[in-house]
A and B are shown apart, each in its own frame.
Chain A
Amino acid sequence: MNDLVLSLFRLGFLVLIWLLVLSIVGAMRRDLAIGARARTGAPSARALKKNPELAEPEVSTRKAASTLHIVEGPLAGRSIPLQGEPIMFGRAQDATVVLEDDYASGRHARLFPQGSRWFIEDLGSTNGTFVGDSQLTRAQPVEPGQRIRIGKTVLELKA
């Protein structure tokens, strides 16, 4: 093949590989954008209309929870003050709240503060953790009054 053509092809190859890099960066620009286009903050009205699941519950009416009540189960009637530290539930002796419950796992679930809210996260328990009637699949915020069930124990946050 002609040397000149081949040299042009080689240059073209370098252009092509950079074209690939730049189009990948271009495809990611939505993630790279900081500011108006980034979706990490409060979603815009238009984004909300398109994706209702991005909506956060109203913040202003919520009061920070201060105590955790044990409603049902072996420890029923007890309450634990929430002091901004994470709380671990389980049968293991090192849990913050030790549950004497055969249906609870050693390290069952964890309640932790983030911002002004408390989140509950399942730590890979055998029987799962429930908020209301639905089983946890990821860390999820809990509001005062929602019932959290771990084995035979039912917990509730109070403001």
Chain B
Amino acid sequence: MSELHTAPVPRRNLELVLLLLALSVGAAAFFLVGSSSDANDNTDFFVQTGILAGLALLMHIMLRIFAKYADPVILPITVALNSLGLAMIHRIDLAKTTDQSMRQLLWTAIAVIIAAVVLWAIRDHRMLRRFTYIALLASIILLLLPMIPGFGVTINGARIWVRLGPFSMQPGELAKITLSIFFAGYLSSNRDLILMAGRKLGPLQLPRLRDMAPMVVAWVLSIGVLVVQRDLGSSILFFGLFIVMIYVATARISWVLIGLLMVAAGGVFAATTMSHVTRRIDVWLNAFSPEIYQARGGSMQIVEGLFGMADGGLFGTGLGEGSPYRVPLANSDMIIASFGEEIGLIGLSAIVLLYMLLISRGLRAALGSRDTFGKLLAAGLSFTLGLQCVVIIGGVSRLIPLTGLATPFMAAGGSSLLANWIIVALLLMISHNSRRPMLGGVGPTDEVATPGAMTTKAVKNV
């Protein structure tokens, strides 16, 4: 892992300019939704724009204070995606007379405030390394929470929700953060062992069996999520995350091959024996056959989404002028199809590019990070965002079977919004630590990772 040197420049003013541009994209989307011929109701325009601008500026000010050298484009991209999502949810609300967008706005506020708190409370991502195994425990608890009778609820066939009074949460969304922290911490401490020990088999260096243990745990975890909670998307996400992190840590292709073989074995098993997976694959392959279209839980959703996008064409029908509300879950799982219909290929490719730019900035933070833990964490978190986009956008466009993962920052749903904003806060923190100047050349003492290590007093290991 090489280190890149860039001149340390804060670039917060650039961020402010881009942020204003991102907010004006959001405001324009709100305005177009409100002034469409059906709705003609712009009463919420100032509320939405004002709250969003306030939140964005809050985050910007937090960055000026606590993470001066953070990457200047991460926040504007996130704000742009979030406000586009809000506008589309509001647009579906107007068509269906539901009230999801206010809820989403409330969750955005909660998510941004928690992201700001994360930025303020953690400051230095290296502190998280101390919680490596606590993070593993937290992930397991978060994944098991929905299984508790009376507490967890089953929605749309997947048991991934918990109900807390009026709120329902998807704790698995937060598990992707804690799992990234665990993998990053574990692999940064054990990388050498995994690298050096083991037999050689031709060009592949096979890992020792006991170094495989965490990989087996990850595999069991993801298959368990699939079997017990019937949540294919999260299962793919968790296992993909682990394979990528181990590859980033060791650069050994053998791990990737072993991982892919395990996925293939699990996938074939799931596809042949588990009814909900079999149905998903059937819906994907034969989406246009009439009986599958008309079947309950059939391909109606995905096919209507495709028709919508086809109707949108290159320029789209215009925000508020199409009929994306015909598609079930048009404001969450299928929000990409709604955008495809209303802003066309031109607008949708801009959205996809925004995601790509966001992920590339996350990977750039990983590249510049000065410590292994930070590299792995930033790579893992950005990959989490990337894999979510691939799985859901690929599913909506029928490239792969559609599974219910949330489109980051856009889909209606509080837990996903919260988790993704925390990911952004962590990426901003890592990019700040990787870009800020190192005073006095090498190894200055004021750069100490944690307050605990600041004391020179030695602690005896017993």
Contacts and interface: CB of A to CB of B under 8 A. Distances in A.
Interface of A: 1, 3, 6-7, 9-14, 16-21, 23-25, 27-28, 30-31, 39-40, 43, 47, 50-51, 53-54, 85-86, 88, 91, 94, 102-107, 110, 121, 123-124, 126-128, 131, 134-141, 151
Interface in B1-16: 4-8, 11, 14
A21 B7 contact: no
Contact of B453 (A9, A135, A139): A135
18 contacts: A3-B37, A6-B35, A6-B318, A9-B32, A10-B32, A13-B32, A20-B350, A21-B357, A23-B17, A24-B18, A30-B6, A54-B7, A107-B190, A110-B192, A131-B442, A135-B453, A140-B442, A140-B443
Interface of B: 4-8, 11, 14, 17-18, 21-22, 24-25, 28-29, 31-32, 35-37, 40, 72-73, 76-77, 80, 129, 185, 188-190, 192-193, 195-197, 315-316, 318-319, 343-344, 346-347, 350-351, 353-354, 357, 361, 364, 370-373, 437-445, 447-449, 453, 456, 458-462
A94 B461 contact: no
Contacts of A21: 350, 353-354, 357
A137 B436 CA distance: 14
A16 B28 CA distance: 9
A85 B197 CA distance: 12
Contacts of B72: 27
Contacts of B77: 24
Contact of B315 (A14, A16, A104): A14
Contacts of A50: 7
B370 A25 contact: no
Nearest to B370: A138
Contact of A103 (B76, B350, B372, B461): B461
Nearest to B443: A134
Nearest to A133: B445
Contacts of A54: 5, 7
Contact of A88 (B192, B361, B444): B192
Nearest to A6: B35
A39 B4 contact: yes
A24 B438 contact: no
A21 B438 CA distance: 32
Nearest to A39: B6
Contacts of B37: 3, 6
Given A16-B21, A18-B346, A88-B192, 5 more contacts: A17-B343, A27-B72, A105-B461, A106-B461, A137-B443
Given A14-B315, A104-B461, A51 B4 contact: no
Nearest to A142: B442
A127 B71 CA distance: 32
A-B CB proximity, top 3 nearest: A138-B370, A10-B318, A134-B443
A19 B80 CA distance: 12
A94 to B, nearest CB: 6
Contact of B188 (A12, A39, A124, A134): A124
B461 A137 contact: no
B134 to A, nearest CB: 14
Contacts of A134: 442-445
B6 A94 contact: no
Given A39-B4, A51-B8, A102 B462 contact: yes
Given A10-B318, A124-B129, A138-B371, A20 B18 contact: yes
A86 B192 contact: yes
A123 B189 contact: yes
Nearest to B22: A20
A43 B4 CA distance: 11
A137 B371 contact: yes
A105 B130 CA distance: 14
Given A17-B350, A135-B453, A25 B458 contact: no
Contact of A25 (B190, B346, B357, B438): B357
Nearest to B31: A9
Contact of B346 (A14, A85, A128, A131): A14
A17 B352 CA distance: 12
Contacts of A51: 7-8, 437
Contacts of A105: 461
Nearest to B35: A1
Contact of B443 (A25, A110, A136): A136
B18 A128 contact: no
A103 B188 CA distance: 21
A53 B459 CA distance: 33
A149 to B, nearest CB: 11
B75 to A, nearest CB: 11
B247 to A, nearest CB: 19
A147 to B, nearest CB: 13
Contacts of B185: 124
Contacts of A136: 443
Contacts of A43: 5
